[in-house]
Structure formats: structure tokens, C-alpha cells
């Protein structure tokens, strides 16, 4: 085969692949590093699908609330196996938003800052625990960069141990849709200063769910987590398409 023939063949395959992506959703996952932690661990971001509608799901912004990390790993696998779920949308996953806290089993980053109080929400409240100023920590800056890049239409942040579906911003219906598919009650905890919920929900007006798994989720294996909470995450991805 000549060089021009093989180029032509490559072009045809590329066009077919793009066409498949467009009509059926596309499952190929790309992983990028969106920032580094204080101790120089990469903060990874996975993108699955190419559609306009974007769902951001992040786990383990509190390093000692880590059950969300195996859960989103199982979710990514499910999405790759079920490309129809990606038709018209993409799912962006941050599997470990606080990698140093995850390694040290700590709520905080290694500067002792609660990353979920370090966002530039209108209610940001500077302190040692919240940070001297909004986005003073590299981890919160990395998450903010993902928000800026993808402009998600809804967000799910996975925590423990309160065992409820909390929400901020215009997310009451989204919370209800998720609540129909798991045994966690929908319950508003109230907006914390400088939290991702306050920033995304109140300042940006983006629906955001704080998906609070129970403490017992820490001792559940990946498959049990998926059986208990997977359908609820799928409901968030499919929203507002019901049933
Ligand atoms: Zn938490």
C-alpha cells in the first residue's frame, strides 16, 4: 500500500470512529493531571465521553472520607461498558481530590487546610483551617481549574459519614432523583463557608450534590459500594432524563 493509500485509510477510520462517538456516545477515557498537591502528588482528572452536557463527580476532597474513590473507579468502568449513558454528555471524574490527605488519612491537606472551605464563595471565611485566602491551596486551585475548564452543568462531591444526600443551589430535583435510587435520605445540612457546595451552588448557581455516604462505607468493597450507590450516581448522570 502506498503512503497516500495508507493515509486515506487512516482518514476513513478516524471519520468512522468520530461518527461512532457522535451517534452512540464514546467510551474512551482520557486522564490528565490538573495540578499537584502540597507534597507533589498528582491530582488526576478523568474524562469519559465527548457530549456537551457535563457532569463532574469528585471523591475524597476530605482525605479520610475515601469510600467515594473505589466507587467512582467502578463507575468509570460501568460508563466504559455502557456508552449509551454518554450520548450527548461527558462525565468528568476526580477520583482523589485531596491526594495527600488520602495517603495520611486526614480530612485536611498537609497545610492543615480544609479544602472544602477554601473556595471563593461569597461566604468564604478566612482562618487557619479555611485558609488565609480563597484558593490559597494547590488542591483547591486544581479543582477550580476543572470547574473553569469544563463548566459542568451539575456536580456530585462524595463525602462521609453523614449518610444523606445534601445539596446546594438549584439541585432539589436532582437530589430527589438520586434519592429514589438509594437508601440515603435527602437532607439539607446547610451551606458551609467556602465549601465547594457554597461556591458552585450559591455563587455559580450550578446544582451540586454533597453525596454523604455512611461511615460503614469505608469497610465495603468496590462491588458492594457499587450495588448500594451506583444507581444513584447513574441517576445524576442521566438527569434530567428520568426512569
Ligand atoms: Zn466531608
> Domain locations in the chain?
26-238
Cell of 33: 493531571
Rounded alpha-carbon distances, angstroms, from residue 47 to 75, 78, 243: 12, 14, 25
Give residues whose Cβ lies within 5 Å of ion ligand 1.
62, 65, 159
- CA of 28 from ligand 1 middle (Å) equals 30
Q: Which residue has the cell 465521553?
A: 49
Per-residue pLDDT, 15:
63
Per-residue pLDDT, 25:
56
- CA of 65 from ligand 1 middle (Å) equals 6
- CA of 12 from ligand 1 middle (Å) equals 48
What is the set of active-site residues?
Answer: 212
Angle in degrees, CA 62, 63, 69, rounded to 5? 95
Per CATH, the architecture of 26-238 is what?
Answer: 3-Layer(aba) Sandwich (3.40)
Burial of 157 (0-12, 13-18, 19+ CB in 10 A): buried
- CA of 8 from ligand 1 middle (Å) equals 53
pTM of the predicted protein model: 0.90
CA distance 121 to 169: 12
Per-residue pLDDT, 243:
43
pLDDT per 10-residue tile (average), the chain, 243 residues: 70 63 68 98 97 97 98 98 95 98 98 98 98 98 98 98 98 98 96 97 98 98 98 97 65
Number of residues in the chain:
243
Amino acid at each position: 500500500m502506498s503512503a497516500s493509500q495508507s493515509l486515506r485509510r487512516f482518514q476513513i477510520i478516524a471519520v468512522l470512529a468520530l461518527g461512532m462517538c457522535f451517534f452512540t456516545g464514546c467510551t474512551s477515557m482520557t486522564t490528565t493531571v490538573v495540578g499537584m498537591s502540597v507534597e507533589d502528588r498528582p491530582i488526576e482528572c478523568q474524562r469519559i465521553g465527548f457530549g456537551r452536557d457535563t457532569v463532574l463527580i469528585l471523591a475524597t476532597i476530605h482525605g479520610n472520607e475515601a469510600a467515594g474513590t473505589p466507587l467512582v473507579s467502578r463507575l468509570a468502568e460501568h460508563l466504559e461498558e455502557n456508552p449509551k449513558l454518554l450520548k450527548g454528555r461527558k462525565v468528568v471524574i476526580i477520583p482523589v481530590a485531596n491526594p495527600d490527605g488520602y495517603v495520611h488519612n486526614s480530612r485536611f491537606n498537609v497545610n492543615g487546610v480544609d479544602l472544602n472551605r477554601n473556595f471563593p464563595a461569597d461566604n468564604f471565611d478566612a482562618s487557619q483551617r479555611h485558609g488565609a485566602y480563597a484558593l490559597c491551596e494547590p488542591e483547591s486551585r486544581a479543582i477550580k481549574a476543572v470547574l473553569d475548564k469544563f463548566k459542568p452543568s451539575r456536580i456530585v462531591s462524595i463525602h462521609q459519614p453523614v449518610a444523606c444526600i445534601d445539596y446546594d443551589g438549584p439541585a432539589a430535583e436532582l437530589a430527589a432523583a438520586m434519592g429514589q435510587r438509594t437508601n440515603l435520605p435527602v437532607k439539607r445540612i446547610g451551606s458551609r463557608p467556602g465549601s465547594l457546595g457554597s461556591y458552585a451552588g450559591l455563587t455559580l448557581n450550578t446544582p451540586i450534590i454533597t453525596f454523604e455516604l455512611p461511615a460503614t462505607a469505608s469497610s465495603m468493597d468496590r462491588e458492594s459500594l457499587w450495588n448500594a450507590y451506583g444507581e444513584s450516581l447513574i441517576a445524576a448522570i442521566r438527569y434530567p432524563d428520568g426512569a
